Structure formats: structure tokens, C-alpha cells
Amino acid sequence: MELYAIIFSLLLCFMTYESSNAAGCAEVPQLSNADVSPGLLKSNYSSGDKLEYNCKHGYFPLRKFVYICDGKKWIKLNKTECTIKRCELPTDIPNGQYSIVNGNSFVFGTTIKYTCNKGFQMQSRFVDRTCRLDGWDNRLPACEEVTCVPDNIENNIKVEGLPDYGDLIRFGHRLKFSCDDEKLLILRGAKEIMCQSNGKWSSPFPNCEEVTCPKNATEDNIIVQRIPDQEGSIKYGHMLKFSCLDEGLILKGKRTITCQANGEWSDPYPKCEVRIPCGKPPSMVHENADTKEMTRNKYNSGEKVEYVCFNKYVMEGDSFLTCVQGKWRGHFTCLKPCTVTVDEMDKRNIQLKRGGRGNLFAPHGDYFTFVCQWFHYQKGNISFRQMCRNGEMPLPECE
């Protein structure tokens, strides 16, 4: 029995060994950043079968990696791994710098872009460089200093800031312009321009033109007279005089306007409006004034009525009211006089320095000097010299 048991165990071990050899290698190994050669792929692998791998594009080394099946597992013949291609540190350029626009390190596929410093502009066609298998592509770009070229300058214009003959006009340089005769010529365009970082001027070069004012359209009911009376453009210093075509119309605006050195009129064009009469002027426009003459029941637009203040009242402002298209316009006031009685002065123990004893009645603006009565002395800080201000005049006091 023991002999049979030994034989059975040996047979079982032999069968297990044969079964193991028949199983072959497991599934295809995965190698980072590498692809297996498709022609070597199959469903079963046995001892002696091999697999070849190539690094993906952009990875090194270029030689193949080989795996051998020993009947049970895959054995790698070389220990090298696929690593990404790295490019040398990019080169700086004079008056410019680079920045990464794709990727985050200087490896295969990374793209950098060059830009110029302010005051310099790119002269190269290509400004990008990408890390390839053989290094950075494209040539290093170049930055050139920005310069501007002046336009043609007319004889009637003055330029301040032009460099000497042969000198370059660089970024940031400014030119200022003015006309030879600023009374007869006007500058059309910018007074100052600058050479920009793109090599262009901030504005076109201006020019000087003869000062003229526009001929604005007028209504049919207005007459325009040119001074001087001549054809052609209206030049600096020329004038236009306006009047209405009919007496029933009134001119609203300036009767004469002048063409100014800036090419604009001194005032807007006036208009002619239908005259609207006014009724009788107000007799009580002010409580202390009345009309100077007898009034009518009707006044044409533009007519005036004069007012006078009552005795001892002082007129302030225009003493006329004017009929303006059916309404009386104007403003004045009659400033009140000051009255000081003898009783008021006696209560304060004061009297006039000159003029004797009596009541005081003084118009606005008059000055008066007071003194203390006999055997009295000044009390307080009110000055003894006072002026009447619209009916009010502070009085000093003595004790």
C-alpha cells in the first residue's frame, strides 16, 4: 500500500508540472509611454516567445524594448524606461523676453512665445518656438527699436520737437504744431502727437487752413448783410449784420456777429419773431416808485418805460421796464432813507456833530457823525460815524 501511495504522488506531481508548462505567459505587459509591435501580438504565448516595444513619439530612447516569455512570466531584457524628450533652456533675445504659452516645462511639445520690450517691435515672421525631437524649431526672433517717420509738413505750419537731420524719432517722442499766422490760419487736427510703441503716430499730422466761418442757414424773414460786402468765404474779422424783413417782427439775438480766430461766430445767428405788444405798464411795480411820464394802454415789443423813486429814496438797478414780447421785463428797487428823531437821540444822550438840533432825515448812502451830549461819555463799541443802509442806521450811546 505504501508503494502505491508513493507512485500516485509522483504521477500527480508530473501531471501538475506538465499542466503548468502548457499554460504559457500571462497577458501582455504594459510599458509606460511605449507601444508594443502589433505583428507580435497573439492569443497565447509559450516559452521563448518575445514582444518588442517602441517609445511613443517624443520619448526616448529610440531603440526597442524586448520581453521574453520563459514559460511562466515575461522577462524584460533591458531596464531602460521611456522618458520624454527635453529641450535646452530657451535663449533670451536682446530687448525682448519669452513666455510659455503651451505646457509647463521645457519638454517635447512645449511652445514658447517671444515679445519685445516697450519701445521695440518684432522684426521676425515667427515669434513662437516649439520643443521638437531635434530641439527648438524656428529661429530666434529679433526686436528692433521703434521709430516713427514724419509726414510731409506744409510751409505754413510750425513744428516744435523735430530732431536734427539724420537722428531717429524714437518711441515716446512728441511733436507740437502751430500755424505761422494764428490770426489768419487755424490748425486743423491735433496740436501735439506722439510716436507710439507700434511705430505709428498717435494722430495724423495736422494742417493749417485759412480761418473761415460757416454760412449758416437763415429764415426767410431775416435780412443778412455782409461786412465787408464781398463774395466767397467769410474770413476772420468779417461780420454779419441782421435785420428783420417786416416791422411787425422783432430780432431775437445779437444784431451783429463776428467771425473769430477759432473759426466760430462770436454769437449764434439771431431769429426774427412776431412782435407781441404789451399792455399798460404796472404802476405799482415798486411801493416807493412810479412812472416818470404818463403811460399808454399799448406798447410795442422793445419799448421802455422809465420809473423814478419817491423823494429821498435811492434807485438801485435799471430804472426802466422793457416790453419783451408781451411781457414787461426789468428789475429795480428804491432804497429807503433813514429817519432819526430828537427823542431817539436824547434817549441815547447823543447829538449830531454838525447841523444843530432837530430830526434827521437822510437818504441811503449818506454818512453822519454823532457826539455825546454835554457831560456824557461813550457807552459801548458802536462807532459815532454811521451810514444809512436802506432805512437802517445803528446809533451809538452815551451815559
Evaluate whether residue 9 is within a structural domain: no
Using an 8 Å Cβ cutoff, are 67 and 25 in contact? Answer: no
Give burial (CB, 10 Å; 0-12/13-18/19+) of 175: buried
- The residues that bridge with 17 in the sheet, in sequence order, are none
Q: What is the mean pLDDT of residues 277-297?
A: 85
Mean pLDDT computed over 168-180: 92
More confident of the two residues 91 and 243: 243
Confidence of residue 282 (pLDDT cuts 50, 70, 90): confident
Q: Mean pLDDT over residues 89-101, rounded?
A: 93
Residue 278 has pLDDT above 60, yes or no: yes
pLDDT of residue 8: 33
Residue 325 is predicted with a pLDDT of 86
What was the pLDDT predicted at 22?
46
The average confidence (pLDDT) of the chain is 88
Task: Give the model's confidence band at 71: pLDDT under 50 very low, under 70 low, under 90 confident, else very high.
Answer: confident
20 part of a folded domain = no
Q: Judge whether 46 and 24 are in contact, CB under 8 Å.
A: yes
CB 134 within 8 A of CB 60: no
**Would you call the peptide bond into 38 cis, given omega within 30 degrees of 0 as the criterion?**
no
Residues 228-277 have pLDDT tens digits of 998 889 999 999 999 999 888 889 999 999 999 888 999 999 999 888 89
Average pLDDT, integer, range 351-378: 90
Model pLDDT, residue 21: 45
Lowest mean pLDDT among 95-99, 267-271, 299-303: 299-303
Q: Please state which of the ranges 23-32, 111-120, 281-290, 359-368 shows the lowest mean pLDDT.
A: 281-290
Domain end: 301, 318, 335, which one?
335
Same domain (yes/no): 352, 377:
yes
Q: Is 44 inside a domain boundary?
A: yes
> How many domains does the structure of the chain reveal?
6
* CATH code, domain carrying 114: 2.10.70.10
Interval 307-321 mean pLDDT: 91
The residue type of 69 is C
Q: Residue 19 — very low, low, confident or very high, per pLDDT cuts 50/70/90?
A: very low
Reported confidence tier of residue 220, pLDDT bands at 50, 70, 90: confident
* 91 falls within a domain: no
Task: Specify the residue for cell string 441782421.
Answer: 242
Q: Which of 41, 63, 84 is the last residue of a domain?
A: 84
In a 3-state reduction of DSSP, which class is residue 214? Answer: coil
Alpha-carbon gap, residue 311 to 294, rounded angstroms: 19
Quick one: what percent of the chain has pLDDT higher than 70? 94
Structural domain for 68, as ranges: 25-84
**Residue at 117 is within a domain:** yes
Please indicate, yes or no, whether the overall pTM of this predicted structure exceeds 0.85: no
DSSP secondary structure letter of residue 167: -
Which pLDDT score, from 0 to 100, does residue 261 have?
87
Residues in CB range of 81: below 8 A, 6 or more apart: 32, 33
Greatest CA separation found in the chain? 175
Closest CA to 281 of 267, 297, 301: 297
| The predicted structure's pLDDT at residue 6 | 38
Q: Are strands 314-317 and 320-324 parallel, antiparallel or unpaired?
A: unpaired
SS3 content of the chain, % helix, strand, coil (to 5): 10, 40, 55
Say whether both 224 and 251 belong to one domain: yes
Last residue of a domain, which of 51, 84, 117?
A: 84
340 has pLDDT over 60? yes
* 15 inside domain: no
SS3 213: strand
Instruction: Say what the pLDDT of residue 272 is.
Output: 92
Please state the separation of Cα 150 from the chain's center in Å: 27
Nearest by Cα to 152 from 209, 210, 206: 206
Same domain, 200 and 220: no
**Set of cell numbers at residue 133:** 525631437
Better-scored residue on pLDDT, 79 or 18: 79
One-letter amino acid for residue 125 of the chain: R
Taking the C-alpha atoms of residue 297 and residue 294, their distance in angstroms, rounded to an integer, is: 10
CA distance 25 to 72: 5
pLDDT of residue 14: 34
pLDDT at 356: 78
Residue 190's pLDDT is what? 94
Residue 18 falls inside a structural domain:
no
pLDDT score, position 284:
65
Would 221 be classed as within a structural domain?
A: yes
What mean pLDDT comes out for the span 19-46? Answer: 81
144-169 pLDDT, tens digit each: 999 999 888 888 999 999 988 778 89
Residue 258, pLDDT score: 96
